[in-house]
Amino acid sequence: MSLVARYLEAHGIPTVILGSALDIVTHCAVPRYLFTDFPLGNPCGAPGDGAMQDRIVRSAIDLFDAATAPMTVVRSAEIWPHGDGWRPRYAEVRPEDREKLLAAGEKRRADRAAKAAS
Amino acid sequence: MSTVNYMQRTRDFYAAQGYERAYVWAHYDEAPFASLSKPLAQCTVGLVTTAALYDRKPLEPRHVDSAATEPGPERLYANDLAWAKESTHMDDPGSYLPLPVLKRLVEEERIGAVASRMHCVPTEYSQRNTLENDAPEILRRLREDGADIALLVPL
**Domain extents in chain A:** 2-117
- d(CA B64, CA B122) in angstroms, rounded, equals 6
- d(CA B108, CA A105) in angstroms, rounded, equals 50
Q: Is the pLDDT of residue B1 over 80?
A: no
Does residue B150 sit at the A interface (CB-CB below 8 Å)?
yes
Q: What is the DSSP letter of A46?
A: -
Give every CB contact of residue B77 below 8 A, 6+ residues apart in sequence.
B51, B52, B53, B54, B55, B56, B90
Segment A30-73, tens digit of pLDDT: 999 999 999 999 999 999 999 999 999 999 999 999 999 999 99
Nearest chain B residue to A110 by CA distance is: B59
Give chain A positions within 8 Å (CB) of B24: none
Residue A111 distance to chain B (closest CA, Å) = 8
The pLDDT, as a whole number, for residue A3 is: 97
Mean pLDDT, chain A, integer? 96
Segment B67-104, tens digit of pLDDT: 999 999 999 999 989 999 999 999 999 999 999 999 99
Residue A93 phi/psi, 5-degree rounding, is: -110, 95
Mean pLDDT within B139-145:
98
The pLDDT, as a whole number, for residue B59 is: 81
The pLDDT, as a whole number, for residue B50 is: 97
Mean pLDDT within B113-137:
95
- d(CA A26, CA B5) in angstroms, rounded, equals 12
The pLDDT, as a whole number, for residue A23 is: 97
Mean pLDDT within B21-36:
95
Contact A93 B135 (CB under 8 A): no
Nearest neighbour of B33 by CB, restricted to A39, A69, A109 = A69
Q: Is the pLDDT of residue B25 over 80?
A: yes
**For residues A34 and A63, is the Cβ–Cβ distance under 8 A?**
yes
Q: Is the pLDDT of residue B112 over 90?
A: yes
Does residue B28 sit at the A interface (CB-CB below 8 Å)?
yes
- d(CA A57, CA B61) in angstroms, rounded, equals 30
* 3-state helix/strand/coil string of chain B: CCCCCHHHHHHHHHHHCCCCCCCCCCCCCCCCCCCCCCCHHHCEEEEEECCECCCCCCCCCCCCEEEECCCCCCCCECCCCCCCCCCCCCCCHHHCCCHHHHHHHHHCCCCCEEEEEEEECCCCCCHHHHHHHHHHHHHHHHHHHCCCEEEEECC
Question: How confident is residue A116, by pLDDT bands cut at 50, 70 and 90?
Answer: confident
Domain range for B141: 34-153
* 3-state helix/strand/coil string of A2-39: HHHHHHHHHCCCCEEEEECCHHHHHHHCCCEEEECCCC
The pLDDT, as a whole number, for residue A32 is: 98
Mean pLDDT within B23-27:
93
The pLDDT, as a whole number, for residue B125 is: 83
The pLDDT, as a whole number, for residue B147 is: 98
**For residues B48 and B140, is the Cβ–Cβ distance under 8 A?**
no
- A11, A26, A40, A63: best mutation site toward chain B, by most B Cβ within 10 Å? A40
End-to-end CA distance of chain B: 21
Please, is A115 exposed, middle or buried when counting C-beta atoms within 10 Å of its C-beta (0-12, 13-18, 19+)? exposed
Percent of chain B whose pLDDT exceeds 70: 100
Segment B30-75, tens digit of pLDDT: 999 999 999 999 999 999 999 999 999 888 888 999 999 999 999 9
Angle at B140 between CA B135 and CA B145, to 5 degrees: 125
ipTM score assigned to the predicted complex: 0.96
**For residues A8 and A15, is the Cβ–Cβ distance under 8 A?**
yes
Asked if residue B122 has a cis previous peptide bond (ω within 30° of 0), the answer is no
Q: Is residue B145 one of the residues assigned to a domain?
A: yes
Segment A78-106, tens digit of pLDDT: 999 999 999 999 988 999 999 999 999 99
The pLDDT, as a whole number, for residue A115 is: 84
Q: Is residue B17 one of the residues assigned to a domain?
A: no
Instruction: Please give the tally of structural domains in chain B.
Output: 1
